[in-house]
Amino acid sequence: ENTPLISSPEHSVEGFVREFMRELNFSQGTVLERSTVNDEYLALARTVRHYLMAQWMETTVDHYRAQPKAVAYLSAEYLLGRQLDNALIATDLVEIATEALASLGLDLADLREAEVEPGLGNGGLGRLAACFIDSLATMSVPAIGYGIRYEYGIFRQTFADGRQVEEPDNWLEYGSPWEFAHPEHEVTVGFGGHTEKYTDDDGVERSRWVPGWRVLGVPHNYMVPGYRNGRVNTLRLWSARATHAFDLKIFNYGDYAEAVRSQTFAENISKVLYPEDSTPQGKELRLQQQYFFVACSIRDFIDQLLPRGFDLHRLPERIVFQLNDTHPVIGIPELMRVLVDEHGFEWDDAWDVTRRCFAYTCHTLLPEALEVWPVELMGRLLPRHLEIIYRINDEFLADVRERSGGDELLVRRMSIIAEHPERAVRMAYLATVGGARVNGVAELHSQLLRDKVLADFASFFPEKFTNVTNGVTPRRFVKLANPGLSGLITEAIGDGWVTDLDRLRELEPLAEDAEFRRRFREVKAANKDRLVDLLRRRDGIEIDPSTMLDVMVKRLHEYKRQLLKLLHVVTVYDRITTGELAVAGVTPRTVVFGAKAAPGYVMAKQIIALINHVGAVVNSHPEVSGVLRVAFPANYNVTVAETLVPAADLSEQISLAGKEASGTGNMKFALNGALTIGTDDGANVEIRKLVGDDNFFLFGLTEPEASAIAERGYRPTSYYEENESLRRALHLIATGVFSHGDRSTFEPVVSNLLGEDRFMVLADYQSYLDAQERVDAAYADPEAWSRSAVLNVARSGFFSSDRSMRDYLERIWHAEPLPSS
Ligand code: 26M
């Protein structure tokens, strides 16, 4: 029978005003005459939320009724970005809201600015998860996102004397109108303690876990609105709370301080997002976070989302858990434990079910980024899971031994337990053995996974390995971020592209249409003006919108090679100041950097300081600053990206080939009509193939070339010795030109480049400079440039995360959309 649902507020200006005022008066407890911008923002957010509410409940009920196969995306990070705008476009309420607010003397743009973005992720991996859940909702796929409700998201970056300073991101401080806490659905998770052997009623020897302490998980639900399809999926983030046992202890007055301390201890688990990306440090709290959210999520799915009495032998018909990197891989032994210890399954049956319920996405190729957990730590925190992992490994290695005719070297290489430098669980191996599929995130990356990182496993389980190239959501990164371009596209080909991005192909002929190109340039210019405003207001940075906007935004990592971009800047500075280049002959550029460094990554932080110091010198030089300026706004985040990406002319994607798994910023820029200067790496390879060589500035070593050089021994000095311009650039840095004459400040950066240069910056330097000359030449012809830019847009439809989701559905999940009943 039908659950009665309250109906949505009326889809009209009057309906919106009424709802908004009700929220302002009855929820915020204030009146227009006295309300702050934050009051008004919160009332607006709740108003918009109400339009989605009925659809949300309907979607939930439909899923429960139809009992389809669902996707559970398990991710330690969701880099959501602001919610208001996305909800407004999903509900088609932008115009109504604008008018309604205007009738009350309020400006939508001002209220928008009051929203603090939930930055519950580090970078690409977290943003990918956010794009994927957007696409799943838009495609009406029954899906749920599971993760952690960090009280503090990614740190706020500021600069002091050009150096990065981290400040806590207290994003919940002014209220969080998009979440629904459900303390009544709390889940208990165990930690520590020991295991004991016992004989069950059938005389079977079993093991059980007696945890030493427990933590509660409180679910916080977020709406994930599909784009105008009447569907709203759920993102469920877990917050850690002390158990009631801890609470009770508080009343034991004698032990009051200790009781409060234990409470804090439990609640620490969801306190803060680790700002590390790609260098796992084996921190105990991090393993606690991982197990905490995965155990809560599996319990939630089995107890809340499956009907009572469901036969768990059929679990793979109802769910697939997608593991976003190795962070949630502890879910594999956890499901084994639940099935065997709590539901009395035979080991083999449980293993059969488990292996069919998980699939693993790998996001890296850097060996140091592969997560391992010391056996000592795993045994102390999760003793039963360690036992289970040992048994999985024993049985797996017995298989390897048998199929390889006792190749003990192979057995040791493939063991889930590493022996050196200490005994540790290799989470990527556990995921590969315990899941049905393993995928990389771009063609090249998936190929390298098969050929290098997981080669033994790819031979052993060839059928498990596949590729799904990443994508980005066109709703946020085109429609919302670039209304000008969106309008132009819609005028030309209708609005179907928003949910069917391949239709951008229909723009191709317009690349030859001078009037269309003129309007395209007009949009780009207007987007640059928006960026000028933002940087002025937010950072006090002045940029000149008539210059080429050359943008490199991404986490700071040596492999991404921000230093290569900087060496280009220094070289142009050098050539102008020595008179080798006349300013009249230089294409004016504004080089924009945006990057956060992991707080413990010393070299990355030095590179940030160097960028800022070079920027200061370049920007204050009387001649140079006329044609070259560096802007490094602090605290690059999703909100900044939404203004920066649409304004860019040139997108810098310059990692050493074979190191960037995919990149997703590269896709955002191409879709917004920037041209890429890039290496043959990650998804750049696919971008170039689609947009065409003429519309992409390729440079640098290929992956096989770089590996071959590494193989025979890379010598950065050989490039240094042969290249005068490179020598001069490094000389400027080394002699303190950018550090007030102090030679020691950036000495470590220079000596690293001349000593190890692990990511071959020097090897690619000349090729990069040459490519930048081709960029300058191309930019000098605005008609040809905008023709290329339009072609980039027209040919990048493949990079919609909707397409990624279709690929996952077909190749990995074997699930389907469930249109509303
Ligand atoms: C691990 C342990 C402890 C703390 C943090 C981590 C950790 C967090 C994030 C490790 C890696 C993390 O992210 C890696 C990442 O973002 N990888 C990027 O994934 C993108 C989406 O697939 C790709 O486009 C990028 O190429 C890849 O670098």
Closest ligand 1 atom number to CA of residue 122: 9
> What pLDDT is stored for residue 820 in this prediction?
84
Q: Respond yes or no: is residue 244 known to be catalytic.
A: no
3-state helix, strand, coil in the chain (%, to 5): 55, 15, 30
| Percent of the chain clearing pLDDT 70 (strictly above) | 98
Is the confidence at residue 179, as pLDDT, over 70?
A: yes
Measured distance CA(386)–CA(376) in Å, rounded:
10
- pTM, two decimal places: 0.98
Q: What is the pLDDT of residue 263?
A: 82
The SS3 of residue 458 is: helix
Residue of the CA atom closest to atom 19 of ligand 1: 125
Contact between 355 and 438 under an 8 Å Cβ cutoff? The reply is no
Separation of CA 326 and ligand 1 centre (Å): 10
Q: Can you state the angle between helices 13-22 and 37-66, rounded to 10 degrees?
A: 110
Q: How many CA atoms lie within 13 A of 35 on its CB side?
A: 24
Q: Which residue type occupies 475?
A: R
Q: Give the integer Cα–Cα distance in Å for 95 and 100.
A: 8
Question: What confidence tens digit (pLDDT) does each residue in 493-513 have?
Answer: 999 999 999 999 999 999 999
Q: Tell me: the pLDDT tens digits for 510-546?
A: 999 999 999 999 999 999 999 999 999 999 999 999 9
Q: Averaged over 603-630, what is the pLDDT?
A: 98
Task: Give the rounded distance of the alpha carbon of 126 from its chain centre.
Answer: 3
Q: Is the CB of 667 under 6 A from ligand 1?
A: no
- ipTM value for the complex: 0.98
- Dump the DSSP string for 664-728: SHHHHHHHTTPEEEE-S-TTHHHHHHHH-GGGEEE-S--HHHHHHHHHH---HHHHHHH-HHHHH
CATH code for the domain defined by 474-799:
3.40.50.2000
Answer yes or no: is the C-beta of 440 below 6 A from any ligand 1 atom. no
pLDDT at res. 1: 46
Residue 476 near residue 134 (C-beta atoms within 8 A):
yes
Rounding to the nearest 10 degrees, give the CA dihedral for residues 473, 428, 598, 678.
-50
Q: Is 363 a catalytic residue?
A: yes
Task: Taking the CA atoms of 50, 134, 492 and 652 in sequence, report the sign of the dihedral they define.
Answer: positive
* DSSP assignments along 407-435, one per residue: -HHHHHHH-SEE-SSS-EEEHHHHHHHHS
Which helix (H) or strand (E) is 439 found in, with range? strand 437-440
CA 396 – CA 351 distance, rounded (Å): 11
Q: Which of 364, 664, 676, 745 is catalytic?
A: 664
Q: Is 151 in the pocket of ligand 1 (CB under 6 A)?
A: no
The predicted structure's pLDDT at residue 7: 82
Whether the CB of 363 sits within 6 Å of ligand 1: yes
- Residue pair 158/597 in contact by the 8 Å Cβ criterion: no
Distance from residue 366's CA to the centre of ligand 1 (Å): 11
Residue 246 in this model has a pLDDT that exceeds 60? no
124 lines ligand 1 (CB under 6 A): yes
For the record, the structure tokens of 5 come out as 């649902």
Q: Note the pLDDT tens digit of each residue in 256-298.
A: 777 777 788 899 999 999 999 877 777 999 999 999 999 999 9
Q: Where in the chain is the domain with CATH 3.40.50.2000?
A: 67-82+117-160+176-469+806-813, 474-799
How many Å apart are CA 502 and CA 480, to the nearest integer? Answer: 18
Domain formed by 67-82+117-160+176-469+806-813, architecture? 3-Layer(aba) Sandwich (3.40)
